[in-house]
Structure 1
Amino acid sequence: MSKIFLTDTTLRDGSHTVSHQFNPDDVMKVAAALENAGVNLIEIGHGDGLTGSTINYGFSKYSDFDLISAASSVLTKSKLTVLLIPGIGTVEDLEMVRKCGAKAVRVATHVTEADISEQHIKAAKDMGLFTVGFLMMSHMASVERVTEEALKMESYGADVVYVTDSGGAMLPKDVAAKIGSLKKNLKVPIGHHAHNNLGLAVSNSLTAIEAGATYIDGCLSGLGAGAGNTPTEMLIATFDKMGYEHDGNLYKAMDASEDVLKPIVEGKGLKLKTNSNSLMIGYAGVYSSFMLHAQRAAARFGVDARDILMELGRRKAVGGQEDWIIDVAYELAHK
């Protein structure tokens, strides 16, 4: 199995959730937390791509250039990435964000309109940017047509080509067929971007990997347009359980969601439902009622409740063995 590269779009697709109101300070905090969690590419900007702040798509308080500069000031390892939709963003905009610190661009078109990406992909490559072809609304075209359009993006110089489920409408069998065809016919790596409108985002992402994709997208806490994107922390957890090679760190991704993103979103008057507790129960494989007991024991002994749950999972604790929680917490505190 090839290494999986994770792109987080909390600060781009996730900006739909906050009506494009992330400010430079928000961006710096979240971007730094994502890099600390091992995310490979971090996408920044208006939800509808570079210079999408318009009456049509919704205004942002800050320009993409301000937000990208802010992110660039804190990122040292992750690739700072932008999304460009030809007709909204221009080659001139791309040159400006390159000067602001962008290292990668995803050039996005409707799934049947890859032709309009040629100028932008070639310009991005000339600028030295890591360049991704992003075929949006991929559920609307046949396997053959998606492959045809992907081949165009590859021919223009794209380093990766994505099957993008913008509508969250694809079933696992659709993902398998389209990713599988691209894997068979293209030489460059393949990526997948899922939305959770049918509750299939994690499943479709895993199906994409099984079919040959090595670039996968997520957002912290599943932020994003529609029902949201695949939760980044859930992706990392499932990658761990599947034994995939990747750079993500589960605890740090969970902390980025709970301790960094949640206060920002709730500070804008929105309620962010984080999934840390349920995620950790599933990841550790322990009885659901253990969480509250583990949190109390963690506070009592000054340890991390997640470490308690993980140890209980290793010991295969089941309901009725709650007394083990105190034992485990005590042992962890005295290591």
Structure 2
Amino acid sequence: MKDQTSGTGNTARGHVLVHDPTLRDGHHAVRHQLTAAQLRAYAEAADAAGIPVVEVGHGNGLGASSLQAGRARLSDDEMLSVVREALPRSRMGVFMLPGWGTVHDLRRAVAHGADVVRIGTHCTEGDLAERHLGLLREEGVEAHGVLLMSHMASPAQLADQCGRVVEYGAQGVGILDSAGHYLPADVTARVAAMRAAVDVPLMFHGHNNLGMAVANSVAAAEAGADILDACARGFGAGAGNTQLEVLVPVLERMGFRTGIDLYGVLDAADIAERELMPRPPSIDSVGIVSGLAGVFSGFKTRVLDVSRREGVDPRDVFFELGERQAVAGQEDLIVDVALALRHRAGDGFVDRTGDGSPAAQGVRAG
């Protein structure tokens, strides 16, 4: 393994488990159209690099392939089968949102050899994971409960939710910065509160809308997080996720151990850029607004499509969605907002430079 800490003088600070959702979160960026060959190519490279957990599936998780969330090129069964075969060393992870996926979907994933299963809920609705976490424990699978859109809850609320999820059987808990809204101090406060409330592994999943994903992930590790998510080239929804091949050497330089080979993870990132994506994610204007507004990054493609069709500014759509506290799974709300903005524009309501505009309201709220 290439030495990543040479010359830093840092002493070991403990182990951080890196969880790689490139083949799940990245699906958002390509309308869930990855092929079997693409899944296999990246999974093999990730396995060769020693990445501990490789997550696969539709961007919204098991059972989510649909007209509303986007139809995937491959079925869940096909994706899981291909990736499982490509991971002789790494564990395979899957993700599910109750309401999209069902108990039937969980059982099929377990049958395909899923090692780590995450059940996601809105940040204040951990109770929705109780039944599914119980089932997974009965199946003998490592089960985690993760809280989405976590910027919408206080540190104390998140700590309380994590405690409940552990009572339901979660062997790990964590938060997703689903909108890329956090700054490092926000992450530190939340992870510290959660660490004081539970003694199971803690996870943090960052998005890069404001360019803070690696810094936020480092803040999480320093505050006590044991598991960090990161994707090759940041491949993920909206402005992308924490960039895997950057995070790993940064952690190692700081004295954290990841067990991931530097050259291997760099090679995997090169393969991801060449094979999976038309171009790496970037922090564009819409992505910044999405982060400021605190809106789920996975809405980006849908917001752009609907805004173009209705002739409205997608930035206004994002700020209005933020005002309405839209969450993942409410994709239909995008159409309602765009139609409302078009109507207001027809009445001369929208003034993007005035204090009363949706954009101005969103900046203040952000």
How far apart are 1:75 and its partner, in Å?
A: 1.0
Tell me, yes or no, if structure 1 residue 261 matches structure 2 residue 272. yes
SS at match of 1:17: helix
* 1:5-20 correspondence runs (5 A): 5-20=17-32
SS at match of 2:249: helix
Tell me, yes or no, if structure 1 residue 228 matches structure 2 residue 236. no
| 1:308-331 Cα distance to aligned partner (Å, 9 max, x none) | xxxxxxxxxxxxxxxxxxxxxxxx
Amino acid in the other structure paired with 1:272: P
Q: Percent identity?
A: 38
How far apart are 1:66 and its partner, in Å?
A: 0.4
SS at match of 2:14: coil
Tell me, yes or no, if structure 1 residue 75 matches structure 2 residue 92. no
Larger relative contact order (Cα-Cα within 8 Å, sequence gap ≥ 6): 2
In 1, Cα distance between equivalents of 2:280 and 2:205: 22
In 2, Cα distance between equivalents of 1:133 and 1:92: 18
In 1, Cα distance between equivalents of 2:281 and 2:114: 30
* 1:64-213 correspondence runs (5 A): 64-213=76-225
> Contact (CA 8 Å) 1:265, 1:272: kept in 2 or not?
no
Matched residue, 1:292: none
SS at match of 2:95: strand
Matched residue, 1:294: none
SS at match of 1:248: coil
> Is there any run of 5+ residues in structure 2 with no aligned partner, and where?
1-12, 283-366
In 2, Cα distance between equivalents of 1:271 and 1:183: 37
Tell me, yes or no, if structure 1 residue 272 matches structure 2 residue 287. no
Q: TM-score, length-normalised on structure 1?
A: 0.79
| 1:22-54 Cα distance to aligned partner (Å, 9 max, x none) | 112211111111111111111000000101110
In 1, Cα distance between equivalents of 2:158 and 2:279: 37
In 2, Cα distance between equivalents of 1:140 and 1:159: 24
In 1, Cα distance between equivalents of 2:238 and 2:43: 23
How far apart are 1:119 and its partner, in Å?
A: 0.4
SS at match of 2:238: coil
How far apart are 1:82 and its partner, in Å?
A: 0.3
| 1:131-181 Cα distance to aligned partner (Å, 9 max, x none) | 111100110001111111111111111111012111110111110011001
In 1, Cα distance between equivalents of 2:265 and 2:77: 26
Q: Which runs of 4+ in 1 moved over 6 A?
A: none
In 1, Cα distance between equivalents of 2:210 and 2:111: 39
SS at match of 1:216: strand
**In the comparison of the two structures, how many residue pairs are matched?**
270
Give the stretch that moved more between structures: 73-82 or 106-115.
73-82
In 1, Cα distance between equivalents of 2:135 and 2:128: 13
How far apart are 1:102 and its partner, in Å?
A: 0.9
In 2, Cα distance between equivalents of 1:117 and 1:40: 24
In 2, Cα distance between equivalents of 1:273 and 1:127: 37
In 2, Cα distance between equivalents of 1:272 and 1:173: 27
In 2, Cα distance between equivalents of 1:94 and 1:156: 16
Amino acid in the other structure paired with 2:269: S
